[in-house]
Amino acid sequence: MRSRNLQTTPVVIVSNYRITPDPGTGKFLHQFTPETTSTVYQFIANREPVFTQGERYNIGYDVENGMNIVDVSASAKADEVDPVVSHNVARILGEQLRAVETTKSDQRVVHSANSGHYLGKKYAWRIYGMAVAKGTFYDYLDEIGHPSVRCTTEGSASTAYLDVGIDTAMDSLINSCSRVGSSSNRFSSPLLASKNWFNVKGISAISDKK
């Protein structure tokens, strides 16, 4: 997933939603403002509405030439976690952190593997797994047998994971999960059978600090 300057605005109540033809693309320009401000968000899509007037959303967007361009794949209703959207946002943010986190890992993690690039576990989580808790990320990679080596991180015993394949492994986890009961953020997956459920974070809760 490419690095982008994604920004997020939590809990926007969609107002003034309008759809007009866009001659330049042959599709339609969607525009709306939050209920309490005049800030315009917009994007190009098909004719059908993507957002519902008066509903609450977490909005992911990029600023391009002074315009707020909505990333629909990084936006979801605020009151219900969409695991795919949360994962998309986490991966975009992770790609923005990749260079820094990879450098930290290479400088601080010592291991004996001589084939492939390995990341210290917390650095791997920041790049690939921030949509779920650290413990869930570690448990999942261990359960599926993702290649790992013992290591020391700043003098403490730890684990490092092979960089290649973590992205597709996390895609598989998210795509296989299903909601547990009526909970807004509890999910289960046959790929993580050791857990009856695990949390997927809402967009506003995704952070490399947790």
Measured CA to CA, the distance from residue 185 to residue 85 in angstroms comes to: 12
* Per-residue pLDDT reduced to its tens digit, 129-145: 999 999 999 999 999 99
Q: Are 109 and 73 contained in the same domain?
A: no
Query: Does residue 89 lie within any of the structural domains?
Result: no
Q: Same structural domain for residues 107 and 200?
A: yes
- 137 backbone dihedrals φ, ψ, rounded to 5°: -60, -50
Looking at the fold, whether 146 and 53 belong to one and the same domain comes out as: no
Domain tally, the chain: 2
Q: Say what the pTM is.
A: 0.75
For residue 2, what pLDDT band results from cuts at 50, 70 and 90? Answer: very low
Please check whether residues 200 and 108 belong to one and the same domain.
Answer: yes
Establish if 40 belongs to a structural domain. Answer: yes
Q: Is residue 97 part of a domain?
A: no
In DSSP terms, which residues pair with 15 in a beta bridge? Answer: 33
Q: Is 205 helix (H, G, I), strand (E, B) or coil?
A: helix
Q: What stretch of H or E contains 140? A: helix 134-143
111 lies in the same domain as 23: no
93 belongs to a structural domain: no
CB 63 within 8 A of CB 34: no
What's the pLDDT tens digit per position in 28-68? Answer: 999 999 998 999 999 999 999 999 999 989 898 999 999 99
- Contact between residue 74 and residue 62 where contact means Cβ atoms under 8 Å apart: no
Element (H or E) spanning 45, and its range? strand 41-45
Q: Determine, yes or no, domain membership for 186.
A: yes
Q: Flag whether 15 is in a domain.
A: yes
Per residue in 64-114, pLDDT (tens digit) is 999 999 999 888 888 778 999 999 999 999 999 999 999 999 999 999 998
Residue 3 predicted with pLDDT over 50? no
The answer, yes or no, to whether residue 8 has pLDDT greater than 90, is no
User: Same structural domain for residues 73 and 113?
Assistant: no
| 114 and 28 in a common domain | no
Non-local (6+) Cβ contacts of 113 within 8 A are 149, 160, 162
Whether residue 87 is contained in a domain is answered as no
Domain of residue 188 covers 103-205
Contact assessment for residue 29 and residue 44, using Cβ atoms and an 8 Å cutoff: yes
Check residue 210 and give its pLDDT.
Answer: 55
Residue pair 61/41 in contact (Cβ under 8 Å)? The answer is yes
Is residue 90 included in any domain, yes or no?
A: no
